[in-house]
Chains A and B, each alone.
Chain A
Amino acid sequence: MSHRSDIKSLIWGAILLLLAASVPLVANGYWMSIALTIAMFTVLATSWALFSGPTHYISLATAAFFGVGGYLVGTGMSDYDMGFWPMVAIAPIVGAVLAFLIGIATLRLSGVYFVIFTLGLAEMIRTLVSWIQNNFTGSRGLYVLTDLTEADIYIYLVILAAAVYLVGWWVNRSRLGFALRIIGNDETVARHVGINTATSKVILFTFSGFVAALVGALIAPRYTYIEPNGVFSPEISFIVVIMALLGGTGRLWGPIVGVIPFALLQEFINANYSNYSTLVMGIAFLVIVYFLPKGVVGRIEQALASRRRSTW
């Protein structure tokens, strides 16, 4: 039975992938830009949910890794005359190392300490990087000049998204995924059935750091001019969390359900009421906590399940 549903998901996945890849053929500049934003957040939110979904450890570190990726590309190309692609190869490794260090330091402790730590992380790295820039490297902003168009970057992100989905699909059917679900249900029980909870958590968290840094690196050419205040903006962390939770972290394809509408909403707000974007984020958090704790996907699945029960 599981074989058939496996093949079904793979076919669905391939169809959606083809649809996504064909967007540049039909989209004009404005919609292409939005599609790029959606692709970026899809990768970020899905890789975020791979760790934070089952374990319930809300990571706010996405902006830190994303910023590290973008910043490495910026400084590599501006200050050290490196090419774009070599930096794109280095960035996720640095992101992964950073995530690994943070993980082993904070994941042995309760979820609250982890959240708090990641809350200030992007801000702290930003001040550190600004300080280093001001006192040592001299330059304020970094230029990233490439031949890549938005459509090119979009395709790379779609490929990355496919890779993340594949990894997620594999993890969900593996012992590691099972371990994470158990950890999220009851960490004490997890330890008592032989799971090394720290290792499991660190592996997934390192992966999410790797991906976020890679996204930051890939999308750097879009902004052309990288500066610490922009690329380490904590907003990115919050938006990723909102999108993933809004869609629902119970399913691999849950986060994208949150990404698309919220990205469109953001676009609308920024265009017309940009003063209120922070307020909108606050309301989104409150809506999630009080009305959609399992996200839209979770709520729909709940409704379907109770419908099924009541037809007996």
Chain B
Amino acid sequence: MDIIITGLLLGGTYALIAFGLNMQYGVARIMNLANGEFLVLGALAAFWIFVADAISPILTMLIVAPLAFLGNWVIYKVLLRPLVRRAKNQGQLEVDSILATFGMSFALVGIMVSIHGEYFTYSYLAEPFEIVGETFALNRIVAFCFAVLIGGVLWLWLYFTRPGMAMRAVSVSTEASGLVGINVPRMSALAFALGGAVTTMGGTLISTFITLDASVGVIFTMKALIIIIMGGVGDIRGAIVAAVILGLVETMVARLIDPGLTLAAAYAIFVLVLLFRPQGLFGRRPT
């Protein structure tokens, strides 16, 4: 039972991170392999600010979000837009954006390592909290609640506002959206920036209960990718379900078998999805 709730808490936080990549890949069509690095940046910021001034990571999150938004907007406009213009088809754009975001991720890791090379962790709200008779770490619960809050706000924005609807339209078809008057380049930039901001916020949240270091970004990118592919690219419900499944499976494997095998477990899920349902649980296009 305790495993299930911990798994759910983890899954909820994962869902927020995957949300970010989902916007970048599902709407802007950029496979952003530097996504995990932005997560680590958010975590690093929380660490520094907490250690320096004992300011709550939640507050840091609010500071970091607009910065991440701006940063990702600039990256999209300056680095990625030329690739979109240059690509003759979707396949070439994907290869180019993978290589370019790869380069960015390395550059970011290189910069972060030279600034702060060791592991970083801090103790925030590391107190026990009781739910249905079992105790859990309060920081995980708080992180989960904020993940749900942010995700909820975003969901409302996507489904109940005009710009949100425009963004959902672009994720279905860039051509058709352009034809009905949606400014696709602007929406893509917005999605990329928003996705980056969400991921960075997720990083701040996750840093409250997980130890990270500068090079761990790639693992989070992998997990986010596994989640959005398992859920169906562009599909939000799917990503949430997939994130929860991943959180549960990881927690079960870590507790019942061995914490060293969590990545292998995530991978195994990925392989199963690729073999049997490559379009994901709620996916749209059959291959």
Contact = CB atoms under 8 A, between A and B. Distances in A.
Interface of A: 56, 58, 105-106, 108-113, 115-117, 119-121, 123-124, 127-128, 130-131, 134-135, 234, 238, 245, 275-286, 288-290, 293
B246 interface: no
Interface in B105-163: 105-111, 113-114
B287 to A, nearest CB: 6
Given A56-B91, A110-B287, A278-B113, A116 B225 contact: yes
Binding site of A, secondary structure by majority: helix, strand, loop or mixed? helix
Contact of A286 (B103, B260, B261): B103
B100 A109 contact: no
Given A282-B108, A289-B100, A119 B218 contact: yes
Interface stretch (B56-64, B181-189, B270-278): B270-278
A116 B219 CA distance: 11
B263 interface: yes
14 contacts: A106-B274, A109-B274, A111-B94, A116-B229, A117-B271, A119-B218, A120-B219, A120-B270, A134-B260, A234-B218, A275-B113, A278-B110, A282-B109, A293-B96
A110 B96 CA distance: 14
Given A285-B100, A285-B103, A279 B270 contact: no
A112 B264 contact: no
A285 B99 contact: yes
A123 B110 contact: no
The 5 A-B pairs with the shortest beta carbon distances in the complex, nearest first, are A279-B110, A285-B103, A282-B106, A282-B107, A286-B103
A238 B109 CA distance: 14
Contacts of A56: 91-92, 95
Given A238-B102, A279-B111, A128 B275 contact: no
A127 B106 contact: no
Contacts of A111: 91, 94-95
Nearest to A277: B110
Given A127-B263, A279-B107, 17 more contacts: A56-B92, A105-B274, A105-B275, A116-B31, A116-B229, A123-B218, A130-B260, A275-B113, A278-B106, A281-B103, A282-B104, A282-B110, A283-B103, A285-B99, A285-B102, A288-B103, A289-B103
Contact of A119 (B114, B222, B287): B222
Contacts of A284: 103
A124 B287 contact: no
B258 interface: yes
A285 B94 CA distance: 15
Nearest to B86: A293
Contact of B264 (A119, A128, A238, A288): A128
Given A113-B278, A281-B106, A282-B108, A58 B98 contact: yes
A112 B274 contact: no
B103 A120 contact: no
Given A286-B100, A286-B104, A289-B100, A278 B264 contact: no
A81 to B, nearest CB: 28
Given A279-B111, A283-B103, A112 B96 contact: no
Nearest to B273: A113
Given A58-B95, A130-B260, A113 B111 contact: no
Contact of A290 (B82, B95, B225, B271): B82
Contacts of B278: 109, 113
A131 B287 CA distance: 36
A117 B274 CA distance: 9
B70 interface: no
B83 interface: yes
Nearest to A121: B267
A285 B278 CA distance: 29
A64 to B, nearest CB: 12
Nearest to A108: B287
Contacts of A134: 260
